[in-house]
Amino acid sequence: MFTIIQEDLTKHNTDALIVGLFEAPKETQPAYEILNQALNNQLDDLVESGDVSTTQGHVSKVHTLGQLEAKRIYFVGFGDYDQFTVDRARQSFGRLFKQLAEDSIQSASLAIDSLYSDEPTTYAEAIGEAAVMAPYQLETYHTDREENHYELESLIFLTNDHSVVEAAEQGYALGNGANIARHLVNLPSNLLTAKDLAVFAENIADKHELKIDVFEREQIEELGMGALLAVNQGSDEPPRFIVMSYQGLDTWEDPVALVGKGITFDTGGYSLKPKDGIVGMKMDMGGAASVIGAMDAIGQIQPKTNVMALIPATDNMVSDKAFKPDDVIVSMSGKTIEIRNTDAEGRLAMADAVTYAKQQGASKIVDIATLTGGVVVALGDQVTGAMTNNQDWYDEVVTAANQEGELMWQLPYLEVYQKQVATSHIADLNNSPGRKAHAVMAGAFVGAFAEETPWVHLDIAGTAMAENAHDLGPKGPTGVMARTLAKAMMNQ
């Protein structure tokens, strides 16, 4: 999809020529000067009249009427040069690619202007992400729906820097990983059981020649995953424990474990959710979706590190077999758990997956889950809540998140909270100490199983869904943190 060519931008023949414009003086923007001259200084008039805007994120379209080889020019406003960032570039190009999709543009060329080419590969990666994420449309089941599979077929960078193509392709892989996560979260739970999720993961593994093991109920029982089995025992759908492995080093040692919550639907169990709270719970496997999306990107980019993806998958249902408040269960680690809330089920499944990661020699762990409504109350729907037992490892993850423009905020992981999840009078731990510090308590519970292994916890309950369409995609599943996880592995 991405190529480069060193050619006069006035002579290149594509459906669209893309040019970024800052509010900086025009004479400092070579592409502007070249085009203005080719258009007999009419570009100056268009900027002065406001028909072409330099405002951040504004997309202006100008037909060339045969004065250039390209049929039309799309100007992307970048705003103030001093305030321009990679994230703003990603968002601005997101708006551009949405407009190209609306106009059914199949081929385009892009002038990499010298003003933002100090880090051309960084910007090219962001452009690659925007190219695949922004026009993405979620699948629906309307009988009269129109098939919409738009994809830009060709984007040519007008530059002599060959590194931008590789960077753009990496960005495309990262963005496509996020789209895979979006697709999975969007699927209704009757079409995405634990078995279906495992089959999807197997397809991703086959695509990139990754190793994959899918454990069924008997094997899960042999592993002693009592916490995952407790969540599943009310369901007619059997559980799965999915293990995907990517080997980027010569030997398989010290893998980083990515643990994703795979609750395909959450009724709350006997701690039943209210009628308004239960709608939308197909998204409770958002953590698993992000991990699978990250593994797709990792398989495509092939970073030099070892990665293990672990997904405990089941739904949480109500039946005469379902686990109940006051039950005591035994986790894979051997720790006993008093059940005080069957709607605090995700942390139970995650506990066994984290224990498995430790037993397999994981050097570091990231868990990601749509875990608590408490994090939404605390941070809203734009910022992911995070916790850690190792600041150095957290700093690596947050660096990747910042590079991807995915906001996260560190919540406290203090001894006082660690003690509160161990206050049961009848077991080692309790799965729900109460509503106070709800998001922190959930993370602290998972942290009790990470123990001394460097661990980062990401609660995406607020950020997994977007209430409105945005620069990088439609309303609905966001695929949040799929790019961050993959980027963190690229940075190893």
* Catalytic residue (one of 98, 335, 347, 358): 347
Q: What is the pLDDT of residue 355?
A: 98
Do residues 394 and 483 share a domain?
Answer: yes
Decide if 180 is inside a domain.
Answer: no
Do residues 383 and 482 share a domain?
Answer: yes
Do residues 400 and 303 share a domain?
Answer: yes
Q: Is 475 a residue of the active site?
A: no
Do residues 407 and 373 share a domain?
Answer: yes
Do residues 278 and 142 share a domain?
Answer: no
| Mean pLDDT confidence for 366-375 | 97
Q: Is the pLDDT of residue 206 over 70?
A: yes
Tokens at 187, concatenated: 């699927």
Can you give the CATH number for the domain in which 320 is found?
Answer: 3.40.630.10
Residues whose CB is less than 8 angstroms from the CB of residue 392 and which lie 6 or more positions away in sequence, other chains included: 454
CA angle (456, 450, 345) in 5-degree steps: 85
Question: What are the Cα distances from residue 47, in Å, to 43, 53, 75, 89, 247?
Answer: 6, 6, 10, 20, 52
Q: Is 347 a residue of the active site?
A: yes
Percent of the chain with pLDDT over 90: 82
pLDDT per position as a tens digit, 229-245: 999 999 999 999 999 99
Q: What is the rounded average pLDDT for all residues in the chain?
A: 94
Do residues 342 and 387 share a domain?
Answer: yes
Mark the binding-site residues for Mn(2+), compressed into ranges: 261, 266, 284, 343, 345
pLDDT per position as a tens digit, 88-119: 999 999 999 999 999 999 999 998 765 455 67
Mark the binding-site residues, compressed into ranges: 261, 266, 284, 343, 345
Residue 246 near residue 301 (C-beta atoms within 8 A): no
* Catalytic residue (one of 61, 71, 217, 273): 273
Can you give the CATH number for the domain in which 95 is found?
Answer: 3.40.220.10
Domain assignment of residue 198, given as a range: 187-490
Q: Which of 469, 476, 473 is nearest to 129 (CA)?
A: 473
Tell me the pTM.
Answer: 0.96
Phi, psi of 365 (to 5 degrees): -130, 140
Decide if 179 is inside a domain.
Answer: no
Tokens at 177, concatenated: 């990983």
Torsion of CA 157, 158, 162, 168, to 10 degrees: -20
| Mean pLDDT confidence for 408-414 | 98
pLDDT per position as a tens digit, 118-134: 678 899 999 999 999 99
Q: What is the pLDDT of residue 29?
A: 82
Do residues 64 and 113 share a domain?
Answer: yes
Do residues 58 and 126 share a domain?
Answer: yes
Do residues 393 and 299 share a domain?
Answer: yes
